[in-house]
Amino acid sequence: MGNEPITKEEFNRLVSQVKFYHYRPQQIALKELKAMMERHHKVMADHIESDALFFAKLSGAKWALWAIVALVAPIVPILYYLIKALALAKII
């Protein structure tokens, strides 16, 4: 029996069993993987879109950032000398 050739029906039955028990779980796993990848792609596309909107708003507000820096710049030396004077007077 070990050396006898198999018949066409036996071969077809073996192929159908391999497809049923081997390929079907793989196809199910691949469908689940495909669904997961599609969800991941949608999440990443949404993140990219929201980041693009954020950076567009940030570049539009660049003048406001420079205005804040310009307003704070004169205060920094005054605070430095105030803290230095308080440290010399041993208050801090």
Q: Summarize pLDDT for 18-70 with one digit per residue, the tens.
A: 888 888 888 899 999 999 999 999 999 999 999 998 888 888 788 888 889 99
Q: Is the pTM of this model over 0.85?
A: no
List C-alpha distances in Å: 42 to 2, 32, 37, 47.
54, 15, 9, 9
Helix, strand, coil percent content, the chain, rounded in steps of 5: 85, 0, 15
List C-alpha distances in Å: 35 to 24, 28, 48.
17, 11, 20
Comparison of pLDDT for 72 and 60, the residue scoring more: 72
